[in-house]
Amino acid sequence: MIIYGVAFLALCTLAGLFIGEVLGKLIGVPANVGGVGIAMLLLIFIGSYLNKRGLFDKKSEQGVEFWSAVYIPIVVAMAAQQNVAGALSGGPMAILAGLAAVGLGFALVPMLDRLGQPKTKTAAPSKPIPSTQR
Amino acid sequence: MYESMLKVINGYGLVSGFAVIGVTMWVSYWLSAKLTKGRLHGSAIAIFLGLVLAYVGGVTTGGQKGLVDISLLSGIGLLGGAMLRDFAIVATAFGVNVEELKRAGLSGVISLFVGIVSSFVAGVALALAFGYTDAVSLTTIGAGAVTYIVGPVTGAAIGASSEVMALSIAAGLVKSIAVMILTPFVAPLIGLNNPRTAVIFGGMMGTSSGVAGGLAATDPKLVPYGCLTAAFYTALGCLLGPSLLFLSVRGITG
């Protein structure tokens, strides 16, 4: 039944957020430590275990797939309630600080991508040459 | 007439939210097909429209929750609130490839630290450029550039003034909005088209709404990979902000 999938998703979400809260308490941080991420890992691993044992049928899967499919509309609704006016009223320093952080973040993504690449793959010589030889 | 309509829309907030967002999505995909020939994702346009509407809502009502402050549209608050957002993000993990995730795991952890430190340094540098010299203000503004939650949490812990806290929140908001808008344009330049770079991207940017929106506008398949690392970012930032980062800034400024 579809509700099994929805309930499974709900249980994973709640369990993950709960673990995140407890971790936050233990470390002494006033934030949820990776709750959503832990919930995702629970969903992935328990989900594939149940799938292998045949306990998660197509109908139940639909209960998870629906929520995954309405993800984008939900993100649009999320965008519509951001405090955009507040962000822009922070003045040039706040705006530049935010933009600088984003620019630096974008610039470092390819660097980190190269850094952790397994050696067999970096052996492909075509990519890194232009930037490093100059 | 008008009163009856108000009664229905207010009483069925979430349902009205579905209707409004559905129409917004339709308009966005139509614009994407007609104006950009599909080059710019419909979801990117929808998110941008959402942000524009949020600006209009914020300016007209003076509130902090964008469009949701217009009482007729409060249902959008339920639809896009933290509860359903997190629920849907967890659901996207269903399509994740475990092998890809394992291969990117270590890079994801490294990217979290690099992401927090680089955002912090960017924020501190701008604060310096605008004339702040005391360690508390510098740290708080730098932490705001990490995320708009890390900023006030750090500021409260080290005793920053409320103006500096407000600035740090604004810096974090700008970051999260800029990530949503810019990611689809920057993605091809930085190779953001596979699970591995998505994991790194999530750790570098970290703002959960920014990463969620930016990846949705780029390629929905990448969403779970980025959101998984981003989920740890704010907490790690709250941990490092008032401790290691503050001490380093104090050590340098004396």
A41 occurs within a structural domain: yes
B126: exposed, middle or buried (Cβ count in 10 Å: 0-12, 13-18, 19+) = buried
Kindly state whether residue A11 falls inside one of the protein's structural domains. Answer: yes
CB A47 within 8 A of CB A56: yes
Query: pLDDT digit string (tens) for A62-101?
Result: 999 899 888 888 888 888 888 888 778 878 888 899 899 9
Cβ neighbour number for residue B27 with a 10 Å cutoff: 14
Domain count, chain A: 1
Residues of chain A contacting B169 with CB distance shorter than 8 Å: 86, 90
Q: Which domain holds residue A105?
A: 2-110
Query: A121 in a domain, yes or no?
Result: no
Q: Which of A93, A72, A108 is nearest to B174 (CA)?
A: A93
B178 HSE (CA, 13 A, CB side): 25
The verdict on residue A97 lying in a domain is yes
Contacts of B231 in chain A (CB under 8 A): 20, 34-38, 40
Using the Cβ of A79 and the Cβ atoms of chain B, whether some distance falls under 8 Å is answered with yes
Exposure letters A122-134 (e unless 16+ CB within 10 A, then b): eeeeeeeeeeeee
Question: Is A133 domain-assigned?
Answer: no
Place of tokens 């500096």: B164
A130 part of a folded domain: no
pLDDT tier for residue A118 given thresholds of 50, 70 and 90: low
A116, part of any domain: no
Closest CA to B132 of B21, B249, B6, B14: B249
| B167 lies within 8 A of chain A by CB | yes
> One digit per residue, pLDDT tens: chain B, 254 residues?
888 888 888 888 889 889 989 999 999 989 988 888 777 778 888 888 888 888 888 888 887 888 888 877 888 888 888 889 889 888 888 877 777 778 888 888 888 899 999 999 999 999 988 888 888 889 999 999 998 888 888 888 888 888 888 888 888 888 988 898 899 889 888 888 888 899 999 999 988 888 888 898 888 888 888 888 888 888 888 888 888 888 888 888 86
Exposed / middle / buried, residue A120 (Cβ in 10 Å: 0-12, 13-18, 19+): exposed
The verdict on A61 touching B (C-beta cutoff 8 Å) is yes
* Per-domain residue ranges of chain B: 2-80, 98-253
More confident residue, A114 or A131: A114
